[in-house]
Structure 1
Amino acid sequence: MTNKLIPTIISLILVCSLLVYYIPNGCQPVSEETQTTVGGDVLALYGIDPYTLDPALAGDATSSEYIQQIFSGLVCLDENLEPSPDIATDWHISGDGLVYTFKLREDVCFHDGKPVTAWDFKYSWERACDPGTGSQTAATYLGDIAGVDAVLAGESEHISGVEVVDDYTIKVTIKAPRSYFLYKLTYATSFVVDEENVLQGSGWWRKPNGTGPFKLWRWDEGNQLVLERNDHYDQTSSFKGVDFIIYELWAGVPMNLYETGQIDVATIGMTYIDKVIDPAGDFYQELTVVPVMSLTYIGFNCSQPPFDDANIRKAFSMAIDKDKLVSLVFRDTVTRADGILPLEMPGYDEDIEGIAYDIEGALALITASEYGAVDNLPKITITTGGWGGGISSDLEAIINEWRINLGVDVEVRQLEPEQFLYSI
């Protein structure tokens, strides 16, 4: 049984500064001279080391946060969560919904000033699907494209459904109409990478030549990661003037760092909630409440006892009082999940009803299962990610509910986050 803990539905953030968004502004050769010191307007944030900066390999939120700043793709999501132009200026979808023709901007370039063309996207997607790359996300995000399966299986080097019409036009054929196809292309797996950069070796992404609004200036593992503004981008939003973003890696408790002025933005955990929601407090005026479309869930290993029995899976689900978790553990900063899509996510259906909290019903299901009684259940271990042996307060509460409501003691196995995310 695995426990995937993802950020809560409502994020409480103390804000002094905000990130900057850019639109490309033409390609010019970049001087070999580089800035040697951080200067100008600087945004300081708390961070942890990314597992990877390779868009094809990223499967965790931390890596993706940096990759979104360093790289980009054909399309991105706008503020209404609709696909909008990024490197593509526009696109045409055939009447049968199978062929997407993208026109690329002719003024987009890599950080070194080299123009980005349709050939770069073809290379990037075929590389992501190459078994030798080892991507765990290519099948999910590119698998609708005709010919991807053959590349993933090692039967072809080229994706038959990707055709370069000219340097700034790429035609993509998918296997069947998919209304969500453009949404998939907003994920990092489909971002463009520089072939010359990749050919430098397995550690190429430590010196990435991306296309995003920021470029990697320095990465001192365990200490600091610094992004520098990409001057090939125009600052067109209201958040102008950020020259560098400094991530203070593993620097301590974000709230403490914020109080001492070491970072400009801090996400607030339950430990400090009272400190920031008090209208008379020092931090209330700096508090911003931001909806976060995310989900916390527990996954059962259906191939192993006792969760190979659907009655046991449902019983453990029914024994969790989600309303109590929301009110007591999360102090009403999250909402109860009744389905796999969070509030405000496109496709969310408020009429879907989740599994109700029912202790008697849960015990009856265990009796009706092939195991017949709690005493006949094998040892149960829940695997989670983290450091130092401590577990989150919500997981601790859930384990306690299983103990009280079902009479089941669950052991905890903790893995380092990278191992948990990429090996489970």
Structure 2
Amino acid sequence: MTRNQLSKRSKVTQQLFIGTVAALTFILTVACSGNSGSTTDETLSTSTPPPARAEKPNIAPELQPNKDVGADASNTAPRQGGVFNTLWSDPPTIDPHLVTDGTSYGIVIEVFSGLVRLGADPVNPFEPDLAESWTVLENGTVYEFKLRKDLKFSNGDPVTAQDFKWSFERAAHPDTASTVAEEFLGDIIGIKEIVEGTATTAEGIQVVDERTLRLTIDAPKAYFIAKLTYPTAFVLNKNNVESLGRKWTDKPVSTGPFNLKEYRIGQRIRLERNNNYWGRLAYLDEVVYNLAGGVSMAMYENDEIDITSVGLADLERVQDPTEEINRDLVEVPPNFAVSYVGFNIKEPPFDDAAFRQALNHSVDKQLIADQVFSNLVKPAYGIIPPGFPGFSPNIKGLEFDPQLAKDLLAQSVYADPNKRPRIVLTVPGTGGSPGLTTEVVADMWRQNLGIEIEIQQVEWATYIQDLHRGRLQAWSGLSWQADYPDPQTFIDVLFRSSSAINYGGYANQQVDKYVVSAQTEQDATKRVKFYNDAEQIVISEAAWLPLWWGVDSKALVKPWVKDYVFSSMTIPKFQNVWIDK
């Protein structure tokens, strides 16, 4: 395949798919995180936070300002009442301690909360939540949190330091089966032993009094506060969880600005205002997530939903100032995510670096950006996105070079197609097209290398479960989105050999050495260099096939929606949103 040319089959698929590129923007965004940080194939970030005081991060992010939609020029005071409607999909879980995907994350952060949260300020993103303040002691190994006065769960029960201790230990307990507890809480002394089943309590969690919680970590780590913004560190009501058992998420007791009022699988989720929330109460009466599916643009124009992304097929029309819908058009900052094809390094043929490198060099990312996405994305030759802390333009990527790809394949132990194992690329979905990007990549492998693959679709919840259990040989239709503004959330979390979120089983001793050194390095410049050096190895060994990073995109927001803030990372959205109609 030469540059600037899509195969005939891909062009046909493009005509079918083009109108829905980014249409899933508001359905499966984030990352989530630990996927936590994971999102679907073509997505944007649509997070909205409340502004407040924040602690200065250890690495100053080069983040873009968040986009505040519907700021009222008439100075009308926000008012309570109204319903915000959005298109979503069924979350794999509503248990904060199990969240590993953006679909679940987007719901959970509205209903539950923790000691600290990510806020609207892109330079000082960490702000107090249930904790009113914290102090760092013992050269950065002890964090003492002071809870707000008169904190309550949504049912009126008091929230105490003991509830946090129980919640952290519950998240780590083997019976909870969290795949990310060790990754996000494992710096606390004693958590790893609970995860391993050799202890039931963590000595690094001390309840000083009802309002004071002391956490001791194994070494000074610049990103520790950032990790506590993830749902694994959210507080739960012990009686609620233990009395209802596995069904506790049907009627969860919350601490966030909203309560879960109703969840009908495949139909809708309804959140209602939490009148026992510690801060200013939410203006909205309800947030309704439509789970039944549909064409988002049509639903928007029929006033069924209040927000939608703009697919390529609709872009020219909505940008036309003579069109009435143009008044709703909003510029959306890029989310800090990388879309990629993942490889299970432990399974043939992906256990051979030359084979993986051949696959990388055979994919024309610029063509994908130009012809599939009309330059709405940027080809990714590294992992960390541009503008994110730790991004380096000096990372040498595996660029499109079909002849080099052929040479590498010839050097591979899987050069002989008759001795090459069956290759299955799994994507999330329930039928229909697996996604234009996936088909284009498969075409490039076929045309440039003669490699045939099978594309398999599985339902989203099963996809996430299989991914975490290492059952997938290769996977696509996924992005990794930053959980917090620190390069640790990309390079360490994804590629350290001992990380539970290292889905492909990638292992390199030098990468491990770099990321472990970065964990305790207090000099920001040296930390970033450790991550960049590790990233270069990851890219050179083709642990992944990075595809693209997001760029600025477009969305539509109803004119009656006020103070909706778009952010490059997923943060609580709806507390400040209000309806003016």
Structure 2 residue 298 is matched with structure 1 residue 256: yes
- Determine if contact 1:77/1:84 at 8 Å carries over to the other structure: yes
1:59 corresponds, among 90, 97, 100, to 100
Which residue number in structure 2 is paired with residue 153 of structure 1? Answer: 196
1:6 corresponds, among 28, 33, 40, to 40
Which residue number in structure 1 is paired with residue 167 of structure 2? Answer: 124
Alpha-carbon distance between aligned partners in 1 of 2:39 and 2:422, rounded to the nearest angstrom:
22
Structure 1 SS opposite 2:214: strand
When structure 1 is superposed on structure 2, of 190-199 and 74-83 the one drifting more is 74-83
Q: How does the TM-score come out when normalised to structure 2?
A: 0.65
Alpha-carbon distance between aligned partners in 2 of 1:66 and 1:241, rounded to the nearest angstrom:
17
Deviation per CA, 1:194-218: give whole Å up to 9, x if none.
Answer: 0011012111011110100111111
Which residue number in structure 1 is paired with residue 284 of structure 2? Answer: 242
Against the structure 1 CA distance between its residues 5 and 263, is the aligned structure 2 distance closer, same or farther, given a 3 Å change threshold?
A: closer
Which residue number in structure 2 is paired with residue 287 of structure 1? Answer: 329
Letter in 2 for 1:256: A
How far 1:278 sits from its partner (Å)? 3.5
How far 1:345 sits from its partner (Å)? 2.7
1:98 corresponds, among 141, 153, 174, to 141
When structure 1 is superposed on structure 2, of 336-345 and 123-132 the one drifting more is 336-345
Deviation per CA, 1:360-388: give whole Å up to 9, x if none.
Answer: 11111111112334554332110111111
Matches within 5 A, 1:297-336: 297-336=340-379
Which residue number in structure 2 is paired with residue 210 of structure 1? Answer: 254
Q: Which runs of 5+ in 1 are unaligned?
A: 24-38
Which residue number in structure 1 is paired with residue 307 of structure 2? Answer: 265
Deviation per CA, 1:25-50: give whole Å up to 9, x if none.
Answer: xxxxxxxxxxxxxx931111112222
The alignment's C-alpha RMSD in Å is 2.3
Letter in 1 for 2:104: S
Which residue number in structure 2 is paired with residue 41 of structure 1? Answer: 82
Alpha-carbon distance between aligned partners in 2 of 1:227 and 1:108, rounded to the nearest angstrom:
21
When structure 1 is superposed on structure 2, of 268-277 and 400-409 the one drifting more is 268-277
1:74 corresponds, among 115, 118, 121, to 115
Against the structure 1 CA distance between its residues 236 and 277, is the aligned structure 2 distance closer, same or farther, given a 3 Å change threshold?
A: farther
Letter in 1 for 2:412: S
Letter in 2 for 1:228: E
How far 1:327 sits from its partner (Å)? 1.5
How far 1:246 sits from its partner (Å)? 1.0
Structure 2 SS opposite 1:295: strand
Alpha-carbon distance between aligned partners in 2 of 1:21 and 1:87, rounded to the nearest angstrom:
14
Alpha-carbon distance between aligned partners in 2 of 1:213 and 1:296, rounded to the nearest angstrom:
31
Alpha-carbon distance between aligned partners in 2 of 1:349 and 1:261, rounded to the nearest angstrom:
43
When structure 1 is superposed on structure 2, of 343-352 and 127-136 the one drifting more is 343-352
- Determine if contact 1:100/1:171 at 8 Å carries over to the other structure: yes
How far 1:248 sits from its partner (Å)? 1.4
Against the structure 1 CA distance between its residues 173 and 131, is the aligned structure 2 distance closer, same or farther, given a 3 Å change threshold?
A: same
- Determine if contact 2:50/2:119 at 8 Å carries over to the other structure: no
- Determine if contact 1:21/1:236 at 8 Å carries over to the other structure: no
Structure 2 residue 420 is matched with structure 1 residue 386: no
Structure 2 residue 117 is matched with structure 1 residue 83: no
Against the structure 1 CA distance between its residues 9 and 343, is the aligned structure 2 distance closer, same or farther, given a 3 Å change threshold?
A: farther
Deviation per CA, 1:340-365: give whole Å up to 9, x if none.
Answer: 22233332223323211111111111
- Determine if contact 1:22/1:236 at 8 Å carries over to the other structure: no
Against the structure 1 CA distance between its residues 387 and 274, is the aligned structure 2 distance closer, same or farther, given a 3 Å change threshold?
A: farther
Structure 2 residue 175 is matched with structure 1 residue 175: no
Q: How does the TM-score come out when normalised to structure 1?
A: 0.88
How far 1:301 sits from its partner (Å)? 1.3
Against the structure 1 CA distance between its residues 174 and 235, is the aligned structure 2 distance closer, same or farther, given a 3 Å change threshold?
A: closer
Against the structure 1 CA distance between its residues 353 and 306, is the aligned structure 2 distance closer, same or farther, given a 3 Å change threshold?
A: same
Against the structure 1 CA distance between its residues 5 and 165, is the aligned structure 2 distance closer, same or farther, given a 3 Å change threshold?
A: closer
Identity %: 38
Letter in 2 for 1:304: E
Alpha-carbon distance between aligned partners in 2 of 1:282 and 1:350, rounded to the nearest angstrom:
41
Alpha-carbon distance between aligned partners in 2 of 1:397 and 1:369, rounded to the nearest angstrom:
23
Alpha-carbon distance between aligned partners in 2 of 1:21 and 1:7, rounded to the nearest angstrom:
28
1:277 corresponds, among 319, 327, 340, to 319
Deviation per CA, 1:213-263: give whole Å up to 9, x if none.
Answer: 1111112222121111122347769xx731111111124111111010011
Choose between structure 1 and 2: higher helix proportion: 2
Alpha-carbon distance between aligned partners in 2 of 1:347 and 1:170, rounded to the nearest angstrom:
32
When structure 1 is superposed on structure 2, of 276-285 and 63-72 the one drifting more is 276-285
1:403 corresponds, among 446, 453, 457, to 446
Which residue number in structure 2 is paired with residue 164 of structure 1? Answer: 207
When structure 1 is superposed on structure 2, of 200-209 and 385-394 the one drifting more is 385-394
Structure 2 SS opposite 1:100: strand
Structure 2 residue 249 is matched with structure 1 residue 220: no
Deviation per CA, 1:65-93: give whole Å up to 9, x if none.
Answer: 11000000111112216221111111111
Alpha-carbon distance between aligned partners in 1 of 2:445 and 2:322, rounded to the nearest angstrom:
39
How far 1:285 sits from its partner (Å)? 2.4
Deviation per CA, 1:125-168: give whole Å up to 9, x if none.
Answer: 10000000111110111111111111001111101111111111
Against the structure 1 CA distance between its residues 402 and 279, is the aligned structure 2 distance closer, same or farther, given a 3 Å change threshold?
A: farther
Which residue number in structure 1 is paired with residue 404 of structure 2? Answer: 361
Alpha-carbon distance between aligned partners in 2 of 1:95 and 1:141, rounded to the nearest angstrom:
21
Against the structure 1 CA distance between its residues 337 and 84, is the aligned structure 2 distance closer, same or farther, given a 3 Å change threshold?
A: same
Letter in 2 for 1:136: T
Alpha-carbon distance between aligned partners in 2 of 1:331 and 1:42, rounded to the nearest angstrom:
35
Structure 1 SS opposite 2:226: helix
Letter in 2 for 1:215: N
How far 1:61 sits from its partner (Å)? 0.8
How far 1:339 sits from its partner (Å)? 2.0
- Determine if contact 1:10/1:334 at 8 Å carries over to the other structure: no
Structure 2 residue 276 is matched with structure 1 residue 232: yes
Structure 1 SS opposite 2:324: coil
